[in-house]
Chain A
Amino acid sequence: MSAHASHAPNRSGLWDYLTTVDHKKIAILYLIAGGIFFLAGGLEALLIRLQLMYPELELIGAKTFNELITMHGTTMIFLAVMPIIFALMNAIVPLQIGARDVAFPFVNALGFWLFFFGGVLLNTSWFLGGAPDAGWTSYTTLALNQYSGSGVDFYVLGLQIAGLGTLIGGINFLVTIINMRAPGMTFMRMPMFTWSSFITSGLILFAFPAITVGLVLLMFDRLFGGNFFNPDAGGNVVIWEHLFWIFGHPEVYILILPAFGIISEVVSTFSRKRLFGYSSMVFATALIGFLGFMVWAHHMFTTGLGAIANTLFGLATMLIAVPTGIKIFNWLLTMWGGQIRFPTANLFAVGFIPTFTIGGMTGVMLAVPPADYQYHDSYFVVAHFHYVIVGGLVFGLFAGLYYWWPKMFGKMLNETIGKWNFWTFFIGFHLTFFPQHFLGLMGMPRRVFTYLKDQNLDMGNFISTIGAFGMTIGTILFLINVVVAAKSSKRAPADPWDGRSLEWAIPSPPPEYNFVQTPLVRGLDALWVEKMAGNKGMTPAEPLGDIHMPSPSFLPFLMSLGLFVAGYGFIYHNYVVVVIGMLFTLGCMFTRSVKDDPGYHIHEDELEEKGVKA
């Protein structure tokens, strides 16, 4: 067809990455950007711990401390771990379902750039009059104009832009998983990581609009004199709490479910066994996703919703322990009788299981409303959610990165450094957060910038700060490992771990079209089925032929840039800038709608087993 360019557009270097719509390169972009924000959030955490190392320290002061805790939480949740989850989803999900690409490559790129510009906008607040300081939950009335500076405007606009990116990313993965599976890849044959990505994307779709509305209302109150949260004019601050947690509670399952998926893959591969209780794992994941929407008010037990509401939300919360327990036992039973190996990926996975269980148990303790009145806003809560988010999710992400690094970059991470990375991070983590349970029970409130000496808080805080150094060393070792891997000339094999799912059937890193021929899937653990049948690789489901690819585009970057500019317009009440930014974005949308993308074809005899350059 003459309208189709027959050759791949020749782009390289930075321009290639600014315009790419290839899910594997977008994965790398997510990983780099998320990694940088992770380091920023980690640095903020380290400063927080230094300030709390000794009683009555005057290291950074109360105002900066408030900014640091706000930015640490916001950065870690929205700008660090979510993008790293998206990095792994982008890199792996299309490969696991035997697809050549995602459903909406352009939207995929747009999702990344929106997140990126939103994150940059939020972080520029440090240099433009101070970071947000109302906590990552940004409760009103604290977050209104009379109590908080312009930092909260950066929070509102930055999260709004980044949240849009996450939302469309979620839709993209839902459609990809529903419509793009290879022949034979039925839903109940999908690998657990794909399943958990699917459910997570569903949660994103239904949870993010609530925070979108919450942020809009807060923005209207702060910028346009709205009265949503102004009690003097009839407003109601509890509306913010509801909207925030209707989003915020599903959000914690958005974070943890992909980690469950990673752990399932890693434990099964390194036990050389099929995942125990696969269908109950799928069921448990779906149930956790569903219940995740039913429990938001357990963050608000002390708000005064009344005994009935508190009881119901408390019971619903405890119910989540059931499917989660199913998962824990399934992992244990997967290992039972397996030929277990312990490369770094599996160390993190096995470290995850008891750590996450502790976090889950403190969660059940917090679900009891009368007890929660004691724990509320104390370091016990801080210990709990760091056990699930760091001990759960971050361990899971490390496991996933060590496991899939060869697939993403074509290089193996060094196992010796990896083991040091695991042990320093693991021990550092428990040193940091285990004492915080007791600090909380002894009455230390969260979000205080210092404490008096001789109140039995000195030792716990000191140990906690020492632990933070351990986690810092672990993170630095990971960075060293990345550099060592990048410099090494040894290329990773296609299937370094004796893998079970489809991504290990293609080269590391995969060529831009992923599969020369779409594979035919003949069972759960598609590659393992072929290995057991004595086949060398997957059976193709189609003859060799030309492969159609979408064209790269600079528009996603420009669209996001327009919103980024408009964001500053709102913050500085300069509506000319708002209009310019908005018109720019709408103009890009216009161009996208009018100009059809014919894509290009990779000709049959150009197909080769060659990977993308990382």
Chain B
Amino acid sequence: MATNHHAVLPDEPEKATLEGKNKVLGFWLFLGGETVLFGSLFATFIALRDQANGGPTSQALFDMNLVAVATLLLLTSSMTSVMATLALHKKDLKKIQLWLTITVLLGLGFLALEIYEFVHYVNEGLKMSTSAFSSAFYTLVGFHGAHVAFGICWIILLQLSATKKGLTVVTAPKFYLACLYWHFIDVVWVFIFTVVYLMGMIGGKVG
């Protein structure tokens, strides 16, 4: 009945309790809703991406090197977050903390590049109010960036509180969900990289 913190953790500790099972299922459903959210933002962006309104176009602005580095950082962080999940299944808190720290650092690097990128674009004359393209760009990519920022804060919070609470059937689902979330925002980035940047760099209108 009661949780004994000193007992051996069960296998897959994130799903060992009913609360844990509920959280994992609920979070998957939440990610389903997030998919619709980003899908709507993507659809809006695709409809408006050629409407530069006389301001800078995507072809004029985007720099492959910067985006490639950002993508590398975020995709690597996706892998390290999976390493953290694997460590969770081995019930090794030290490894979890290590991998999550790397994940957070990579995420911070990505975020720094994105902030630099946005500042650079504003200086180039692409403001929120410049064109329909600029509004759609900043909203879609900014929504993703805000998700990354929230994820970083969340993971740091879990890491800090785990130093006190340890790895239990209460904290394990939290780690698991944070990694799931992180993985999801990486998947979203793959689509942003393709739809926003790659499609934005190749010539004029498509279709």
Q: Do A and B bind each other?
A: yes
* A234 pairs with B29, CB closer than 8 A: no
The prevalent SS among residues of B at the interface is helix
Q: Which B residues, 1 to 39, have Cβ-Cβ distances below 8 Å to chain A?
A: 1-4, 18, 21-22, 25-26, 29-30, 32-34, 36-37
> Given contacts A4-B2, A104-B22, A228-B135, is CB(A239)–CB(B129) below 8 Å?
no
Chain B residue nearest to A2 (CB atoms) is B2
Report B170 CB to chain A, min CB distance, Å.
Answer: 6
Q: Which residues of A contact B47 (CB under 8 A)?
A: 236, 239
Question: Which one of B37, B48, B130, B135 contacts A220 once the chains associate, using CB atoms below 8 Å?
Answer: B135
Question: Which one of A107, A213, A224 contacts B37 once the chains associate, using CB atoms below 8 Å?
Answer: A213
Report A314 CB to chain B, min CB distance, Å.
Answer: 22
Interface assignment of B194: CB less than 8 Å from any CB of chain A: no
Give bound CA distance, A546 to B52, whole Å. Answer: 65
Q: Which A residues, 488 to 536, have Cβ-Cβ distances below 8 Å to chain B?
A: none
Contact with B along A225-267 (1 / 0, CB 8 A): 1111010011110010011001000000000000000000000
Chain A residue nearest to B160 (CB atoms) is A594
Give bound CA distance, A226 to B132, whole Å. Answer: 7
* A171 pairs with B30, CB closer than 8 A: yes
> Given contacts A171-B33, A227-B131, A234-B132, is CB(A220)–CB(B139) below 8 Å?
yes
Give bound CA distance, A107 to B21, whole Å. Answer: 15
Give bound CA distance, A256 to B135, whole Å. Answer: 36
Give bound CA distance, A444 to B31, whole Å. Answer: 45
* B44 pairs with A209, CB closer than 8 A: no
Report A461 CB to chain B, min CB distance, Å.
Answer: 40
Q: Which residues of A contact B202 (CB under 8 A)?
A: none
Interface assignment of A205: CB less than 8 Å from any CB of chain B: yes
Interface assignment of A60: CB less than 8 Å from any CB of chain B: no
* B44 pairs with A239, CB closer than 8 A: yes
Chain A residue nearest to B34 (CB atoms) is A209
Interface assignment of B182: CB less than 8 Å from any CB of chain A: no
Chain B residue nearest to A207 (CB atoms) is B36
* B26 pairs with A235, CB closer than 8 A: no
> Given contacts A179-B21, A593-B174, is CB(A226)–CB(B135) below 8 Å?
yes
Q: Which residues of A contact B43 (CB under 8 A)?
A: 239, 242
Report B110 CB to chain A, min CB distance, Å.
Answer: 21
Interface assignment of B128: CB less than 8 Å from any CB of chain A: yes
Interface assignment of B80: CB less than 8 Å from any CB of chain A: no
> Given contacts A178-B25, A226-B129, is CB(A209)–CB(B51) below 8 Å?
no
Q: Which B residues, 144 to 195, have Cβ-Cβ distances below 8 Å to chain A?
A: 154, 157-158, 161, 165, 170, 174
* B21 pairs with A209, CB closer than 8 A: no
Interface assignment of A342: CB less than 8 Å from any CB of chain B: no
Q: Which residues of B contact A239 (CB under 8 A)?
A: 43-44, 47-48
Report B139 CB to chain A, min CB distance, Å.
Answer: 6
Q: Which A residues, 162 to 185, have Cβ-Cβ distances below 8 Å to chain B?
A: 167, 171-172, 174-175, 178-180
* B21 pairs with A227, CB closer than 8 A: no
Interface assignment of A590: CB less than 8 Å from any CB of chain B: yes
* B18 pairs with A234, CB closer than 8 A: no
* B40 pairs with A228, CB closer than 8 A: no
Q: Which residues of B contact A217 (CB under 8 A)?
A: 44, 135, 139
> Given contacts A179-B18, A220-B139, A227-B53, is CB(A103)–CB(B26) below 8 Å?
yes
Interface assignment of A216: CB less than 8 Å from any CB of chain B: yes
Question: Which one of A107, A233, A548 contacts B131 once the chains associate, using CB atoms below 8 Å?
Answer: A233
Name 26 interchain pairs, CB-CB below 8 A, sorted by A.
A167-B33, A174-B26, A175-B26, A178-B25, A179-B21, A179-B22, A206-B32, A209-B34, A209-B36, A210-B36, A213-B37, A213-B41, A213-B44, A217-B135, A220-B135, A227-B132, A228-B48, A233-B131, A234-B131, A234-B132, A235-B135, A242-B43, A546-B1, A590-B157, A593-B158, A594-B161
The 6 closest A-B pairs by CB, nearest first: A234-B51, A1-B2, A225-B129, A234-B132, A209-B37, A213-B40
Chain B interfacial positions (CB closer than 8 Å to A): 1-4, 18, 21-22, 25-26, 29-30, 32-34, 36-37, 40-41, 43-44, 47-48, 51-53, 127-136, 139, 154, 157-158, 161, 165, 170, 174
Chain A interfacial positions (CB closer than 8 Å to B): 1, 3-4, 103-104, 107, 167, 171-172, 174-175, 178-180, 205-210, 212-214, 216-217, 220-221, 224-228, 230, 233-236, 239, 242-243, 246, 546, 548, 590, 593-594, 596
Known contacts A233-B53, A233-B130, A234-B133; 20 further A-B pairs (Cβ under 8 A): A1-B1, A103-B22, A107-B26, A171-B30, A171-B33, A179-B25, A180-B18, A208-B33, A212-B37, A213-B40, A221-B135, A224-B128, A225-B128, A227-B131, A228-B48, A233-B131, A235-B48, A236-B132, A243-B44, A590-B157
